[in-house]
Structure 1
Amino acid sequence: MRLLLFLTVCQYAINSVHTYSISNPNVVLLMADDLGIGDLGCYGNRTLRTPYIDRLAKEGVTLTQHIAASPLCTPSRAAFLTGRYPIRSGMAAFSRVGVFLFSASSGGLPSEEITFSKLLKQRGYATALIALYASDMFRGKSKHGLYGDAVEEMDWSVGQILNVLEKYNLRNKTLIYFSSDQGAHIEEISSSGEVHGGYNGIYKGGKSTNWEGGIRVPGLLRWPGMIPAGTYMDEPTSNMDIFPTIVKLAGAQLPNDRIIDGHDLMPLLQGKVTRSKHEFLFHYCNAYLNAVRWHPGNSESVWKAFFFTPNFNPEDSNGCYDSHVCFCHGGFITRHDPPLLFDLSRDPEEKVPLTPKTERRFYEILRVIQLAVANHTRSLQAVPDQLSWDNLLWKPWLQPCCSSLFQSCYCDFESEHSLLEVHSG
């Protein structure tokens, strides 16, 4: 079971804990690992109990077309932290392995990359990161085995955070964001046959694929008094949007020496605009451009073109069960010429590819998408491959000091004044 809770807490602390303004809110970012969009009550689940996460939805905005920048953990989180497609920072692999397997690897975000945490610290925020696990208290309590137990414990943990915000009168001074780094890992099955992966609702595929089940993730935002409650938004948004959103709210400057692919969500969340700035979203499978999403400004359609798709195994299944994840190149994929084309506004399950006979604008749509790909490709610069085999290999001298197995290692401890300790009961 690998459902984790990724939590970044940012607290504005330039003067005192009582100094707040609309432009400098507290920010709580909650990111689950491999959580399916269909695992939560607010997205339609009726057998898992997620009352606290559902409460975020009731008291805030539910994004129904929120997209992870990658269907794999490492590149998705890199995009989340930087507001940039992972290909721009070298956090997208050309080899079969697209994630870091060890903490003692030499690859990672290049030092020149800027995360939102770094910018918020410059504005006086304190930050913290808090990797949670299923405890004995929740084991065997859900209807969905160990995975369900972990989901319900995660929901309880969210409730603990909400209770603390209420206790210290911080509810109206705090922006909360909840999401997942990609869709549920549907091939995650134990040796005894118990399903340890989640549920992606009506959507096809899951983790490691750019079918909607792999990239359409929960997106919940709550900020009482600033964001309307009980609102649903079906515009395409991305986890890369969190970077510019909170950087602007903190009063910091967005970097002007690089492309930021995310867009500030606040105008959309507050109803000041009705259309997402993401006319195009580019879906990468590792370092390979896999698909493109186009939401024309004059249409309700959301076109999605696939240049290749993974070969599911068994062939009539919904995933790559023989290899545990789907891969992105060679004999693991089928290339399409012309690309497979779907209109997600009519076919969100991606069941029936369009053809020139069923869509009169078929070739025109593909022409626009290909032009967008060409423009996007020109914006990319060559960067070191952070997920090369050399960078992926385990290096004992880089093993974190928290390991009890290794006594000789290096740690770069930050100043105690720059850390915010968060304890939950």
Structure 2
Amino acid sequence: MAGIVGMSVSPVDGGAAEPEKPNVILCMADDLGWGDVGYNGNKVIKTPHLDKMAEAGVRFNRFYAAAPVCSPTRASCLTGRHPFRTGVFFANVGILRPEEVTIAEILKKEGYATGHFGKWHLGTFTATEKDGNRGGQPELVNPPTDHGFDTYFSTEAKVPTWDPMLVPKKFQGEENRHFGWNAITDKAMAKSFGTNYWTPNGKATGNMEGDDSRVIMDRVIPFIEKAASSEKPFLAVIWFHAPHLPCVAGPEYAAMYNEQDFHMQQYAGCVTAMDDQMGRLRAKLMELGINENTMLFFTSDNGPERGAPGSAGPYRERKRSLYEGGVRVPGIMTWPNKVKAPFVTDAPVVTSDYLPTVIDVLGLKEPANKLDGVSFLPLLEDKPFTRPSPIAFASQNKRAVNDEVYKLYFDGRKTELYDLEKDPGERANLAKQQPEVVKSFKEKHALWFESCKDSFEGKEYGIKSLETLNQSWPDPANGVIQKKSKKKAKK
């Protein structure tokens, strides 16, 4: 997408009266698998509020994260572009560059209040102290207010999902450092986890105990109430940390799963706690009388962590993989003013579709530069919807292309083709039987990949941040390579 100066996003010509602008809420879990919710068949984890949301609106059976890891998917949600265009190639790689234009910037120009809440992971908040994964490096300071958000209550990276500021107690006898977390029982002995919440005024303090999803929602609710009282449309981007490791359930939530092993008690309890906050959010929208005109989305940034109790359902592999289990994620939305009757769709939709869909809803012309997402507004209006081109994926040295029927996967060692309608679990490789499909998909992917490189290098607009961040285009054989400055950042 072009930079602010060169971007042209304007209303579509027409003399009709301007409709009321809908509120937009983009909710996203962290490492939640396709099979971790009740409406997708999970018989253990309780998600009653998400299940009710799915029953009331649209359930996307083929909803995709743009990437199999965290930061790249987040960049796609905000820009409508694949992360290889924006330089956010992988987790903790690059930042959301200043030249990119986000959904927050577009909606702010349309009179929206804009807020980000939860995990940011697209840059840091401090140039002077160690914080999260990358805090303390001046060139990486990149808060949400640099990208169109009026306010934020956000972290640079992960935090424990219970008592988020403290290192959780380790379960005795547990060897795996990622698991066996338990709620803090002696706060006087606890150590700081090292990842802070930040606001435009600096480091956040107060109300940081207990369930992290509630801590986040405690900041979301006043933001929504303020916007509603001023009769101003709003964009709220709510990116939960749950159930990313360290996954910790509060005692009351863990007790709901006493019949499960310790790890599942923590994981399931954490997911149910997040589900409660989704229920709280929906109840507040109804209380304020704004639910009917609110586009409320929920998804996950990628599939479940490897070795975690999470479920990818019937799909192959998990987080970091471009097989279905790594990128096919829960996807639901409600918008009562538009979606009068609930429905389920098998149409492939991806996180980069958010921005073009919202632009379409508002009657704005699509920006002139390259988007990867498309508007799925026709789906919501019960009109024919077909993607003009397949969804292309790239992560490290892995590549994939999906259309309505086929999926091509290749990584330099193997080439595989699957019929997702007949074989969603990706078991029967059809590459030898369908060489013409393989050839066509590879050609399309090559053209798309070259287009991504052009975007990354600034051929759509001049990118000054390339030199500042000292980034290079990823080596196709080895995955991401990011050049590092020899100078150490000042602490």
Q: TM-score, normalised by structure 2?
A: 0.61
Asked if 1:175 corresponds to 2:295, the answer is yes
Structure 1, residues 374-399: CA drift from partner, whole Å, max 9, x if none? Answer: 321342314343872538999465xx
| 1:270 alignment partner, one of 356, 371, 381 | 381
Tell me how far 1:109 sits from its aligned partner.
1.0
Asked if 1:109 corresponds to 2:66, the answer is no
Residue identity (%): 31
| 2:28 alignment partner, one of 11, 27, 31 | 31
Task: Work out whether residues 61 and 228 of structure 1, in 8 Å CA contact, stay in contact via their aligned partners in 2.
Answer: no
Residue 47 of structure 1 is matched in structure 2 by 44
CA distance in 2, matches of 1:285, 1:278: 22
Residue 77 of structure 2 is matched in structure 1 by 80
CA distance in 2, matches of 1:162, 1:71: 28
Asked if 1:157 corresponds to 2:277, the answer is yes
Structure 1, residues 237-259: CA drift from partner, whole Å, max 9, x if none? Answer: 11100011123334544321x20
Unaligned runs of 5+ in 2: 1-16, 120-160, 163-210, 212-249, 458-465, 473-480
Residue 306 of structure 2 is matched in structure 1 by 186
Tell me how far 1:60 sits from its aligned partner.
0.4
Asked if 1:148 corresponds to 2:268, the answer is yes
When residues 391 and 149 of structure 1 are mapped into structure 2, their CA distance, relative to the original with a 3 A threshold, is farther
Asked if 1:366 corresponds to 2:476, the answer is no
Residue 131 of structure 1 is matched in structure 2 by 118
CA distance in 2, matches of 1:230, 1:174: 15
When residues 57 and 364 of structure 1 are mapped into structure 2, their CA distance, relative to the original with a 3 A threshold, is same
Matched length: 320
User: SS of the residue aligned with 2:298?
Assistant: strand
Residue 388 of structure 1 is matched in structure 2 by 482
Residue 204 of structure 1 is matched in structure 2 by 316
Residue 335 of structure 1 is matched in structure 2 by 413
Structure 1, residues 308-356: CA drift from partner, whole Å, max 9, x if none? Answer: 2xxxxxxxxxxxxxxxxxxxxxxxxx612xx211111111001121254
Task: Work out whether residues 360 and 377 of structure 2, in 8 Å CA contact, stay in contact via their aligned partners in 1.
Answer: no
* Structure 2 counterpart of 1:222, one-letter code: T
| 1:348 alignment partner, one of 424, 430, 434 | 424
When residues 66 and 125 of structure 1 are mapped into structure 2, their CA distance, relative to the original with a 3 A threshold, is same
CA distance in 2, matches of 1:335, 1:215: 20
Task: Work out whether residues 33 and 313 of structure 2, in 8 Å CA contact, stay in contact via their aligned partners in 1.
Answer: yes
Structure 1, residues 210-255: CA drift from partner, whole Å, max 9, x if none? Answer: 0100000111011113114331100111110001112333454432
CA distance in 2, matches of 1:283, 1:58: 30
Task: Work out whether residues 348 and 403 of structure 2, in 8 Å CA contact, stay in contact via their aligned partners in 1.
Answer: no
When residues 363 and 389 of structure 1 are mapped into structure 2, their CA distance, relative to the original with a 3 A threshold, is same
Task: Work out whether residues 183 and 207 of structure 1, in 8 Å CA contact, stay in contact via their aligned partners in 2.
Answer: yes
Asked if 1:230 corresponds to 2:306, the answer is no
Q: TM-score, normalised by structure 1?
A: 0.70
Tell me how far 1:80 sits from its aligned partner.
1.2
* Structure 2 counterpart of 1:159, one-letter code: G
Task: Work out whether residues 81 and 243 of structure 1, in 8 Å CA contact, stay in contact via their aligned partners in 2.
Answer: yes
When residues 346 and 201 of structure 1 are mapped into structure 2, their CA distance, relative to the original with a 3 A threshold, is same
When residues 49 and 241 of structure 1 are mapped into structure 2, their CA distance, relative to the original with a 3 A threshold, is same
| 2:410 alignment partner, one of 304, 307, 319 | 307
User: SS of the residue aligned with 2:391?
Assistant: strand
CA distance in 2, matches of 1:23, 1:73: 33
CA distance in 2, matches of 1:394, 1:345: 51
The root-mean-square deviation of aligned C-alpha atoms, in Å, is 2.4
When residues 150 and 276 of structure 1 are mapped into structure 2, their CA distance, relative to the original with a 3 A threshold, is farther
Task: Work out whether residues 293 and 337 of structure 2, in 8 Å CA contact, stay in contact via their aligned partners in 1.
Answer: no
CA distance in 2, matches of 1:307, 1:122: 41
CA distance in 2, matches of 1:203, 1:243: 27
Tell me how far 1:293 sits from its aligned partner.
1.5
* Structure 1 counterpart of 2:278, one-letter code: V
Task: Work out whether residues 322 and 398 of structure 2, in 8 Å CA contact, stay in contact via their aligned partners in 1.
Answer: no
CA distance in 2, matches of 1:393, 1:155: 44
Residue 330 of structure 2 is matched in structure 1 by 218
CA distance in 2, matches of 1:277, 1:54: 28
When residues 247 and 354 of structure 1 are mapped into structure 2, their CA distance, relative to the original with a 3 A threshold, is same
Residue 317 of structure 1 is matched in structure 2 by none
* Structure 2 counterpart of 1:235, one-letter code: A
When residues 391 and 46 of structure 1 are mapped into structure 2, their CA distance, relative to the original with a 3 A threshold, is farther
* Structure 2 counterpart of 1:388, one-letter code: Q
Tell me how far 1:131 sits from its aligned partner.
2.3
When residues 59 and 369 of structure 1 are mapped into structure 2, their CA distance, relative to the original with a 3 A threshold, is same
| 1:281 alignment partner, one of 374, 388, 391 | 391
